[in-house]
Amino acid sequence: MNLTLYVWRQKNPGEKGRMNCYDAGNITADMSFLEMLDVVNEELVKKRIEPIAFDHDCREGICGACSQVINGIAHGPEAATTVCQLHMRRFTDGDAIYIEPWRSRAFPVIKDLIVDRSALDRLIQAGGYVSVSTGGAPEANATLLPKEEAEEAMDAAECIGCGACVAACPNSSAMLFVSAKIAHLASLPQGRVESASRVRSMVEAMDRQGFGSCSNHYECQAVCPKGVDVKNIARMNREYMKALFKAMG
């Protein structure tokens, strides 16, 4: 198949970027989207054109590094799929494909399709962990936990921190990401000890990092490659209010 690509090119954070047009020829349906970009870059190198810079690591839908907006959709048109697991059979011969980086003040562009997502790391540093001493690793069945709570924790823990929720939200909110971390830890006995301080610290860190607020568009859930549910945001709001009342009392 032959495609026309419109790709965001930006040399560095200080320069203005623009959309450049490239031809992608002899693309097979079995290629992944990143493999297609590899083929395009090989042709660009042959023509002495600087290749398109894009981020990737595992290429197995685990790390979340392949952050791209494809035809206006974070991670592309395939639901519950990262860019690296999106295959070209999702497109047809002659298609025009627009490829852009995440668009958020909290995610400044480093080069072309690569953005700085370290703001998410700083949210985790603000409280997305268990710091209380839990001793050595216990036997898995030693701590009894209701099945419903275990499943809630596992569902929330699926978040890979890719930032698609931020890129899709019209407010550039990170609340789905933060709420997944809070829900994951608040569902476990080891994490409940610090639940109040955790939610306050992480919510305050969101404001410091320049993320917007949630206005219930649900775009975050729609593009999440792991299907993290927005119900976690409601839980985070409840946890935050409880933490405020606890501090006042």
* Range from 17-21, 40-44, 46-50, 140-144 carrying the lowest mean pLDDT: 140-144
Beta strands in the chain (DSSP E): 3-9, 18-24, 69-70, 73-74, 96-100, 109-111, 114-115
Identify whether residues 181 and 72 lie together within a single domain: no
Identify whether residues 92 and 127 lie together within a single domain: no
Q: State residue 85's pLDDT score.
A: 97
Q: Three-class SS string for 31-68? A: CEHHHHHHHHHHHHHHCCCCCCCCCCCCCCCCCCCCCC
Identify whether residues 101 and 126 lie together within a single domain: no
Is pLDDT above 80 for 212? Answer: yes
Domain of residue 61: give its range.
3-111
Identify whether residues 38 and 81 lie together within a single domain: yes
Rounded to the nearest angstrom, the gap between the alpha carbon of residue 199 and the centroid of all alpha carbons in its chain is: 20
Domain CATH code at residue 29 = 3.10.20.30
Contact 190, 201 (CB under 8 A): no
Identify whether residues 148 and 73 lie together within a single domain: no
Considering only residues 1 and 193, tell me which one the structure prediction assigns the higher pLDDT.
1
Identify whether residues 93 and 169 lie together within a single domain: no
Q: State residue 132's pLDDT score.
A: 73
Q: State residue 33's pLDDT score.
A: 98
Q: Which helix (H) or strand (E) holds 113?
A: none
Identify whether residues 73 and 59 lie together within a single domain: yes
Mean pLDDT to the nearest integer, 179-202? 93
Dump pLDDT digits (tens) for 8-34. Answer: 999 999 999 999 999 999 999 999 999
Model confidence band, residue 189 (pLDDT cutoffs 50, 70, 90): confident
Is pLDDT above 80 for 203? Answer: yes
Model confidence band, residue 246 (pLDDT cutoffs 50, 70, 90): confident
Is pLDDT above 70 for 140? Answer: no
Q: Which residue in 77, 67, 155 sits closest to 107, CA to CA?
A: 67
How is residue 18 annotated by DSSP? E
Q: How are the residues of the chain apportioned to helix, strand and coil, as percentages rounded to the nearest 5? A: 40, 15, 50
Amino acid at 112: D
Q: State residue 2's pLDDT score.
A: 98
Give dist(CA 134, CA 89) in Å, integer.
48
Strands 69-70 and 96-100: antiparallel
Q: State residue 8's pLDDT score.
A: 98
Average pLDDT of the chain is 95
Identify whether residues 29 and 128 lie together within a single domain: no
Domain CATH code at residue 151 = 1.10.1060.10
Q: State residue 134's pLDDT score.
A: 61
How many domains would you assign to the chain?
Answer: 2
Identify whether residues 94 and 56 lie together within a single domain: yes
Considering only residues 121 and 142, tell me which one the structure prediction assigns the higher pLDDT.
121
Q: Which residue shows structure tokens 């955790």?
A: 198
Mean pLDDT to the nearest integer, 50-69? 96
Identify whether residues 121 and 241 lie together within a single domain: yes
Identify whether residues 122 and 55 lie together within a single domain: no
Identify whether residues 100 and 181 lie together within a single domain: no
Model confidence band, residue 105 (pLDDT cutoffs 50, 70, 90): very high
* Range from 65-74, 107-116, 136-145 carrying the lowest mean pLDDT: 136-145
CA distances from 7 to 24, 39, 98 (A): 12, 14, 6
